[in-house]
Structure 1
């Protein structure tokens, strides 16, 4: 009944698993891959926690950490002149079946422009490749518009 008679708590981190964790981590494997390799009872979060407690994150090779990956060259963005509006092709904004996705089937980098009434059957999202933000080029032209009035016009309207 006393503390002396009780067995110490079981741990999933045996010396063999810790040794294997160290070698896999230093090879550059991901935490998810290591958790699968180590087997039952070891989650991705458990791997990351143990790596942190062992101080292994500093031992990881830089190439595995992703710090030396080549970055795409920065492109200069140009803005259209003030007052200029790009022509929007509204016909393609609701194009019938091209790329239509549901909320459950939409993927990363696919346009999330809603098509139809969300409360009605047949509601979907555009699904075309994203060009800017969360929308394809046609829907981005509708969603992201510049200010139509200048600050001075708004101040005059407000009577300031």
Structure 2
């Protein structure tokens, strides 16, 4: 498809009227939406009319007005969200307003971390814990190897780590 002068002029006119790239492609015929977008960028057509007639919002006054006092809540304030800002030609940089809130950890009772038997893959059996320790690509990679229950591949300790109730996972987030 060639961009003739007439088609380019029609593209400019439709773009300034606020039509979408898909609508322009349909009216021109024989051209894709992406081809229209590419041509718009090559022609550097940035200013365009708005398709929706939403009234502009009035700007808020610079001076604060007297507001009713906020009710005191027993809930903690939500953690501040990161604010994305662009600086020149750099990528988006995230700036944090304050220290992120850390979830409160509940004290668990009777937590005993078992000493690993450090078994290799060929040493595992049906009755040994298959919890991996370390990096699989390193020489000292091994498995827990402690006795496991009939219900799964892990010992009691690692089973509690691997299979947490859904409510616990939601609470930690």
Is the TM-score greater than 0.5?
A: no
Provide TM-score, normalisation by structure 2.
Answer: 0.32
TM-score normalised over the length of structure 1: 0.34
Of structures 1 and 2, the one scoring higher in RCO (CA 8 A, sep 6+) is 1
Structure whose alpha-carbon radius of gyration is higher? 2
